[in-house]
Amino acid sequence: MNSFIKNKVYSGIITVSMLFTGWLMAPSPVSSQTSTTEDETLVFVMEIKSDIDPRSNRYVRLGLEQAREIGANYLIIEMDTYGGVLTDADDIRTQILEFEKPVFVFINKDAASAGALISIACDSIYMAKGASIGAATVVFQDGQAAPDKYQSYMRSIMRSTAEANGRDPRIAEAMVDEDLEVEGISKAGEVITFSTSEAIEYGYCEAQVSSIEEILTRNNIENYRLERHKLNPAERIIAFFLNPVISGLLILIIIGGIYFELQTPGVGFPILASVTAMILYFTPYYLNGLAENWEIAVFFVGVALLALEVFVIPGFGVAGVMGLICTIGSLILVMLNNENFDFSFVEIKDIFLAATVALVGLLGGFMLMFMGGVKLTQTKFFKKIALVDTQQSSEGYTANVSETSMLNKKGIAYTVLRPSGKIMIDNELYDAYTRGSFINKDEEVIVIGEEGTSLKVKKA
């Protein structure tokens, strides 16, 4: 391939990758249709209907940013979650408390654990028929209660959040700690979980409603327009690349690209494909708060160790093994919401899924190496950048050491032949070998064959 064209192709791939990464990291654009009339009330609506984790944390942050940008008068969160990660729930709680406009939450149907914390952070709570709120005990992935230091932290933020919005802090604490007893409400040995009617009775719900519109009617909000939070195309693409299947395919391209580049250094295309896949793999996880800087750094350390093993250190030893551990370990850790190897609040299923995705991608990469490598050598692209023709002797190609035949010529063994070594004929040195016999230095030899770049000899 012409070097100019190759450079243009590579530059194009790099430019597109950088532009794509910048597009993913750009803030969400505000719709041009969000302008309101002077008397119209703008109500911004977003949903929390999944586990509380870095994805929902980012979703809420983007939603609040959009609500501010469009000048929303009210914010309504439609809630239906069984909880999730405490750290992300605390982030969401803080963002809601700091939001400048009134925030309503519509619990339709569950607000358990972290969902209860987020609901209590809202200015007003409304619940659907048959809904529930509470059961905020911190638990590990196996369902067992976490140590008291976690419960104490959860109790404190539940208490302070309830106080901030004029709710009974004892009830908020008793939603976490089963040992706390609230007279007339709960007994020791059980955490508080309110039904809709109970939440209304004890000040943890303003009213039972069946829709968002009913909430607005109860608050005498008229002439309003609902604006629902929707992810922009970049965010939808981020969500697409967070799909485990896509992550596995990207890992396959990363591993395969690195392998082919190490095997054929200088080609360039495999490593560019690998770099593009790295960008598409790491960027979404980084933006969602899953990939830490040190986890990404560990990946590149692993790649450097593998390169060191291939180009500097012969064989496959400690550097190669450590390179594989760092590379694969990084790809797994990036998908997990761990705090410096603290997996206390990481679900077992998430660990299993991350390990499966990484190992399947790795296995696919090895299959690509062994099976795809043969196919690659048969492509037109490979034939343009590599010499694939064979030079057959039937076509006149030879590899003789001399332009004239050396058969039957005599010389002496310049070194010991056991069975290979060097001989001297007419004051010229040649590589030579015997049929297996041993010939001492300075013994006379005779050439009995010419094969490649060496001469076959025997004792004269």
pLDDT tens sequence across 36-77:
556 789 999 999 998 888 778 888 999 999 999 999 999 999
Q: How many CB atoms lie within 10 A of CB 71?
A: 13
Q: Which amino acid is at 229?
A: H
Going from the C-alpha of 232 to that of each of 27, 31, 239, the distances in angstroms are 9, 10, 11
Residue pLDDT, tens place only, 417-437: 878 889 999 888 888 888 878
Q: State how far the Cα of 40 lies from the Cα of 190, in Å rounded to an integer.
A: 47
Rounded to whole angstroms, what are the CA distances from 317 to 170, 201, 313?
60, 69, 8
> In the numeric block, which tokens belong to residue 111?
């607000």
pLDDT above 70 (res 402): no
E-only strand ranges, 49-146: 74-81, 103-112, 124-127, 132-134
Predicted model pTM? 0.60
pLDDT(166) > 90: yes
**Residue length, the chain?**
460
Instruction: Tell me the three-class secondary structure of 403-421, residue by residue.
Output: CCCCCCCEEEECCCECCEE
How far, in Å, CA of 52 to CA of 346, rounded? 12
Query: What is the pLDDT at residue 412?
Result: 92
Burial group, residue 409, by CB count within 10 angstroms (0-12, 13-18, 19+) = middle
Question: Which helix (H) or strand (E) covers residue 90, if one does?
Answer: helix 86-97
**Structure tokens belonging to residue 360:** 């399947």
User: Which of 184-188, 321-325, 342-346, 452-456 bottoms out in mean pLDDT, i.e. has the lowest?
Assistant: 342-346
The string of DSSP codes covering 175-226 is: TT-TT---TTT--TT---EEEHHHHHHTTS-SEE-SSHHHHHHHTT--SEEE
> Are the beta carbons of 280 and 271 closer than 8 angstroms?
no
Judge whether residue 325 has pLDDT over 80. yes
Q: Where are the domains of the chain?
A: 34-230, 234-385, 393-459
Q: Which two tokens stand for residue 436?
A: 């297996």
Correct CATH for 34-230 of 3.60.15.10, 3.90.25.10, 3.20.20.70, 3.90.226.10? 3.90.226.10
Residue 313 is given by DSSP the state: S
CA distance 155 to 175: 8
- Judged by average pLDDT, the poorest of 25-39, 246-260, 422-436 is 25-39
Best CA proximity match to 281, nearest among 253, 247, 235: 247
What confidence score (pLDDT) does residue 34 get?
Answer: 46
Could you please state the CATH topology (level 3) that the domain comprising 393-459 is classified under: OB fold (Dihydrolipoamide Acetyltransferase, E2P) (2.40.50)
For residue 126, give both structure tokens: 């409304």
What's the rounded Cα separation, in Å, for the pair 275 and 268? 11
3-class DSSP state of 41: strand
Strand 193-195 to 124-127 pairing:
unpaired
Range in 143-152, 211-220, 420-429, 435-444 the model is least confident about: 143-152
